[in-house]
A and B are shown apart, each in its own frame.
Chain A
């Protein structure tokens, strides 16, 4: 597995940043007419080779960075499985919107699209699939899930299903999102964006900080893993297109389904990486759902104060971050949470904690009332 976001561009860089807990959120590199803090990937991204030049966007260059990070693991994967038995299931909410935004601005200024802009190569889901197929060699089923903020959590469920059905042997799953003006302005219009770094579960929380990033996980049958994917629970709120069910009913269903599929009880879960966006309503609904199912013991962290809300990349990103508890034996502090809202009665970890973590749950919830909970287990 690998990831790239405001904390760093590899698992080791991200671990090191988490060990020195301070927000990496800062001013937006995307011009918007209001103040907000974002989580941007720092440093240069790799270029695509000439034959993929037409597909070059920030999204596909993040994809290449992730693939380079997994070079040896992907070579081993290709050595074990035929290319047509390796699926590529990714998630994004933005796809190439950042490139289309620039093209649209050029169109407004000049009346024509910029030279070289190509919707199919730079905007659509097929574009990132083409680049990823080319970079990884995966030739099996391939698609992009786009369910807003659960986009990159759902591919873990899909891969597990397809493997269970004998349709594939391995899958490259994950997701990528980039910063876009429309996303920032849209959340601002909803009144959901914070002007400062977000503070999930805090009494002082006042909204989201958006981030960009990506994460990939290699799922395989019959190998000695880094961590086990126990199960994934999926549900719908059936309530509202952009607001969570006030009691977190859909969220609770997703968590319960993850437990049921794994044959686990709430007591088997040692840590929860919450969706924890930092809006008053979202955090309150999620805390209700967690409390209802798990009580007030299990330590809960939102890592969005470090990375920002990476939207379509958040599910995979936070599954990787949650897995660090299983492999490294510690969880980071939930940044900005102090003072915790007294109406939130779950156990928010406000300090880094060491411990023995056997199972962890990672939550992702989205517009459309789409909910996913990923349950991971130590080896």
Chain B
């Protein structure tokens, strides 16, 4: 088994069309109509040109970072997505081969998987560490693993943000489709005096889950990043146990959620 270490949770955030904030999600207060992320805290030019995924990741990032009191101009961030900016890529291919036009240079620049991490670092004027990774349905677990490595190395909080834009319909069958979702968790190092308090996480490791993710609508549950939503729900539930981060569709990575009185 891969060794694991304990870290604290300092804040969470999310964006889903029906639940644009964590408060909406915790209250299960559904929007009157599905919302689109605005990316309101991004640089104005980037806001106009960024994809729905980049904006959703940014919304989740800022909500979690604010909740944790993270200094935005410093610190580290790990962005995760299985397909990344695939919609932008398909748009470029469409432009090149259906419309027979030269691709948009700005769309090309924003088609990279790290578009969100780039525009967020610009918006926050953060010259620190940022990365962008993918591992299909194991993306949440591996983003958490990268963050835990960073905490071990630097002893500072890390914002982990994972999201997926709506299914690229040309490439994925309808019965596998999902809707937009982005989730964020701020992990923080434990100080010695904090070991008996707050919620702590241990992992990721391959193990046998004792906690189940909540029942979710299929279009949410099929999102490859749902493991991070499950983690937010487990933290919300306040119960200790081992949670699968992949809903059985990845390599079996789990996280142990620990409460002092759970």
Taking beta carbons and an 8 Å cutoff, which residues of A are in contact with B? 84-85, 93, 97, 100-101, 103-105, 107-108, 113, 119-120, 123-126, 129, 140-148, 154, 158, 161-162, 164-168, 181-182, 185-191, 234-242, 249-250, 253, 366-370
Contacts and interface: CB of A to CB of B under 8 A. Distances in A.
Most buried by A among B131, B136, B206: B131
A104 B133 contact: no
B102 to A, nearest CB: 5
A325 to B, nearest CB: 28
B105 A141 contact: no
20 contacts: A125-B82, A145-B132, A146-B113, A158-B146, A167-B5, A182-B93, A182-B111, A185-B92, A188-B102, A190-B109, A235-B128, A241-B118, A241-B122, A249-B127, A367-B114, A367-B118, A368-B115, A368-B121, A370-B114, A370-B131
A316 B5 CA distance: 29
Interface residues of B, number: 65
Given A104-B97, A162-B145, A241-B46, A126 B110 contact: no
A166 B132 contact: no
Interface of B: 1-5, 46, 82-84, 89-90, 92-93, 96-98, 102-105, 108-115, 117-119, 121-122, 124-139, 142-143, 145-146, 148-150, 152-153, 168, 170-172, 204, 206, 251
B87 to A, nearest CB: 12
B4 to A, nearest CB: 7
A369 to B, nearest CB: 6
Nearest to B137: A126
B152 A148 contact: no
Contacts of A144: 133-135
Contacts of B114: 146-148, 366-368, 370
B97 A235 contact: no
Given A120-B136, A129-B135, A165-B153, A240 B113 contact: no
Contacts of B46: 241
Nearest to B102: A189
Contacts of A126: 82, 134-138
